[in-house]
Amino acid sequence: MAQRIPPDSPRRRAHALGLTALAVGLGALGCEARAPTTDPAETLLLPSCVAVTPAEVRFAAVGDVATLRAQPCGEAGPVTVVGLGLTGGASFAVDAPPSPWKAPSWGSEITVRFAGPAAAHDSLWLLAEGAEAPVRVALLGPDAGQGCPDPTVDGRPGRAFPLDVVALDGSSAQPGPGGAPIVTWQWAVLDRPPGSTAAVVEAVADPAWPQRGGLPDDPSTPQAALFLDLAGRYRLGLTVTDASGVQAPGPDCPAGAQYIVDAVPDAALHVQLVWHTPDDPDEADVDGSDLDLHLRRAGARWGGDGDCFYGNRAPDWPPSGAVGDPSLDIDDVDGQGPENINVDAPSAEAGHYEIGVHAFRLWVDPVGRTRPSEVTVRVYVQGTLSAAWRRTLDAQDSFWAVARAEVAPDGSLRVVPVDTVFDAPP
């Protein structure tokens, strides 16, 4: 199950010291922009999502043929498959179009023939264009994994929201027929959204500040927790071991439970910021780079009342009520992020919203050199990733005007790149 973080959580109170002074600095006038950038930000390929069904195939006999179907997740359009293959040897044969090929919305068929022996097992993998990791399907002969514990558990998390804490519970995993009882449960993150640092913990140390993590997962207990720090897809695995040392999945036990959690923003406009400083050996300490996400109304001043940022986390903008009002739901002050801003109901009166990133503090190495950070901004519209850009910021106090989200009279949104770097907040 997923636990929502209260909107008035104290995790929103970071940057409390020095806040007034910086807010004044952000409003300083007379800062001239650099010329429009001649080195444009990298436009990132929007990740594709493909599902393959069934997720596991057990063949009844040597020579049997199974048909799998690969198709885009949800209501997505055609997805390009850039790779497909088998992890192991010659026990299975795959018939599919040569890569790259497009899987239409209604799906494409993949046939697999089992050549034996009966105890053989393998894994078919399929990689979609833009995906961080392949989708895998377990292929099992009739005798594969006999006597192994079964790590399949009930209550798969499924769909959640960014910043949720997902509770994981492997207590319903079963020993193999006549096997010893299960004694360890090891949860692992197999895949996560680009830029995510999500890791399985035994339990979050402070539910109000879940991004601070918790104690490492204790394999002697079936329970664990995962903080969904970014929007996107998370793939989790569970490995169990019985009292006789038999592990599933393992060398002799191919079947393994995998769980998909889709963290989907529920706001109409969701803006996400992450960053990476390659030269910083410990990006999670207090000395890391600190980048700040901004979202302002058209015509407003960066750092003023019309700007949503750490110094104005939940502004009340006209018209009255929640329409058009943004909120900074997480403000990160170490060296990685994330930060995100949501607008539940964009206001046509606003005209458009402008997205910016301020290099509040770039990491300085032991000999006093400012080191660059790779900054990534992703914009989700109605829960779907609409645009993403990456740019390197290498100067203290620099400001990247990233994009604007234009609001039509009917409330629909269109994201347009701006991509201009300023020496300081303009």
Q: Which helix (H) or strand (E) holds 19?
A: helix 19-26
Beta strand segments in 281-412, E: 290-297, 307-308, 326-330, 339-343, 352-361, 373-381, 384-393, 399-407
Residues 159 and 246 in one domain: yes
Residues 236 and 334 in one domain: no
67-110 tens-digit pLDDT: 999 988 765 568 889 999 998 878 999 998 888 988 888 889 99
Residues 259 and 273 in one domain: no
Range of the domain at 378: 267-422
Residues 133 and 155 in one domain: no
87, 121, 144 - which closes a domain: 144
Q: What integer pLDDT is reported at residue 18 of this predicted model?
A: 30
Q: What is the CATH number of the domain that holds 74?
A: 2.60.40.10
Task: Tell me the pLDDT of the chain averaged across its residues.
Answer: 83
Residues 120 and 135 in one domain: yes
Residues 98 and 207 in one domain: no
8 A C-beta contact, residue 416 and residue 353: no
8 A C-beta contact, residue 124 and residue 94: yes
Residues 273 and 214 in one domain: no
| 3-state SS assignment for residue 348 | helix
Residues 221 and 288 in one domain: no
Q: What integer pLDDT is reported at residue 147 of this predicted model?
A: 79
413-422 sheet: strands from edge to edge: 307-308, 290-297, 352-361, 399-407, 413-422
8 A C-beta contact, residue 137 and residue 57: yes
9-50 tens-digit pLDDT: 433 333 332 322 333 333 333 334 444 454 677 766 566 678
Specify if 400 maps to a domain: yes
Residues 251 and 337: their CA atoms lie apart, in Å, by 38
144, 159, 189 - which closes a domain: 144
Bridge-partner residues for 46, per DSSP? none
Residues 260 and 275 in one domain: no
Specify if 11 maps to a domain: no
Q: What is the CATH number of the domain that holds 397?
A: 2.60.60.30
* Domain count along the chain: 3
Specify if 2 maps to a domain: no
207-225 tens-digit pLDDT: 777 777 888 999 999 999 9
268-327 tens-digit pLDDT: 999 999 999 999 988 877 788 999 999 999 889 999 999 999 999 999 887 767 778 999
Tell me 364's DSSP state: B
What is the pairing mode between strands 158-160 and 214-216? unpaired
Residues 66 and 199 in one domain: no
Where is pLDDT greater, at 417 or 410? 417
8 A C-beta contact, residue 162 and residue 270: yes
8 A C-beta contact, residue 312 and residue 294: no
Residues 102 and 191 in one domain: no
Degrees (nearest 5) of the Cα angle 25, 30, 34? Answer: 100
CA 266 vs CA 63, 231, 293, 367, 404: distances in Å: 47, 10, 19, 45, 20
Task: Give the mean pLDDT of 386-415.
Answer: 93
Q: Phi/psi at 255 (nearest 5 deg)?
A: -70, 130
155-208 tens-digit pLDDT: 555 678 998 999 999 888 888 887 789 999 999 998 888 888 899 999 888 877
Bridge-partner residues for 341, per DSSP? 271, 328
Specify if 58 maps to a domain: yes
245, 264, 283 - which closes a domain: 264
Retrieve residue 271's tokens. Answer: 């803006």
351-368 tens-digit pLDDT: 899 999 999 999 999 999
Retrieve residue 284's tokens. Answer: 């999670």
pTM: 0.77
8 A C-beta contact, residue 92 and residue 114: yes
Specify if 7 maps to a domain: no
Specify if 17 maps to a domain: no
Residues 140 and 271 in one domain: no
Tell me 33's DSSP state: B
Specify if 31 maps to a domain: no
8 A C-beta contact, residue 225 and residue 122: no
Q: What integer pLDDT is reported at residue 10 of this predicted model?
A: 34
Q: What share of the chain is helix, strand, coil (3-state, %, to 5)?
A: 5, 45, 50
Task: Give the mean pLDDT of 376-389.
Answer: 92
Helix H, strand E, coil C: the string for 110-173 is EEEEECCCCCCEEEEEEEECCCCCCEEEEEECCCCCCCCCECCCCCCCEEECCCCEEEEECCCC
Specify if 10 maps to a domain: no
Write out the DSSP string of 248-287: ESBTTB---EEEEEEE---SSEEEEEEEE-TT-S-TTSTT
Amino acid 53 reads T
